[in-house]
Amino acid sequence: MTAGPRVGILALQGAVDAHRAALERLGATVEMVKRPDQLDGLDALVLPGGESTTMSMLLDSSGLFDPLAKRLGDGLPVLGTCAGMILLASDVLDGRADQRWFSAIDLTVRRNAYGTQIQSFETDLDIQGLDVPFHAVFIRAPGVEVRGTDVEVLAEVDGEPVLCRQGPVLVAAFHPELTDDDRIHQLLIDQVGPR
């Protein structure tokens, strides 16, 4: 029996335990990433939800930003959810002046585009390639303002992209880890290929 992929979760701030559970259910070996050396040997990475400006500062103070940017540039498969989507975008609206992001997917996103915490919502999404709708949880979700021509839209809410992919980069405006449906995480695992 072959070992599952080694998938890291950026664990500086934000929701990590539910991502860990989903990945472990899929047979992955999960590593919590807090230091640059913990990127070594990873087959894929999750950038979880949380507070994107805080995560940006912690990526700098931990020394992780530049090594992670290099791994992403080298094609490391990655799933960014909510704040992770913001960090992976090519441009961020309504962020702090000193906020950094990775420009790993050709999207301009707006922080908290769907409103405040009390405006959070759930909905069933029709996702390209999945035969049954996915129940999605949106919490202070970012919104896509502009997308590049190479970005594939896998799901929309009211005509607005909420799940997008470009090469090995998959981003969701929602929190797939907050359900027992592991199909979004499986899309990340599928990017890894044979070991």
From 19, 31, 164, 177, active-site residue: 177
What average pLDDT is seen over the chain?
A: 94
Task: Label residue 115 by pLDDT band (50, 70, 90).
Answer: low
Query: What's the half-sphere exposure (Cβ side, CA atoms, 13 Å) at 179?
Result: 17
To the query of whether residue 145 is one of the catalytic residues in this protein, the response is no
In a domain, 1, yes or no: no
First to last CA, the chain: 11
Tell me, yes or no, whether 76 lies in a domain.
yes
164 part of the active site: no
Tens of pLDDT along 71-102?
999 999 999 999 999 999 999 998 788 889 99
pLDDT at 3: 74
Sign of the C-alpha dihedral computed for residues 71, 37, 185 and 143 taken in this order: negative
In a domain, 108, yes or no: yes
What pLDDT is attached to residue 195?
A: 56
63 inside domain: yes
Q: Write down the pLDDT at residue 90.
A: 97
- CATH value at residue 39: 3.40.50.880
Q: Annotated catalytic residue: which of 19, 31, 164, 175? A: 175
Label residue 72 exposed, middle or buried (CB < 10 Å: 0-12, 13-18, 19+): buried
Provide the number of structural domains found in the chain.
1
pLDDT given for residue 2 in this prediction: 60
19-71 pLDDT tens trace: 999 999 999 999 999 999 999 999 999 999 998 989 999 999 999 999 999 99
pLDDT, position 80: 98
Q: What is the mean pLDDT of residues 162-181?
A: 97
Q: What is the mean pLDDT of residues 137-146?
A: 94
Question: Predicted confidence band at 194 (pLDDT cuts at 50, 70, 90)?
Answer: low
With respect to residue 180, please indicate whether it lies within any of the assigned structural domains.
yes
- Residue-number span of the structural domain to which 167 is assigned: 6-192
Catalytic residue among 19, 82, 164, 185: 82
Q: Is residue 83 part of a domain?
A: yes
pLDDT digits (tens, 9 = 90+) for 120-133: 899 999 999 999 99
CA 77 – CA 18 distance, rounded (Å)? 19
| pLDDT score recorded for residue 98 | 82
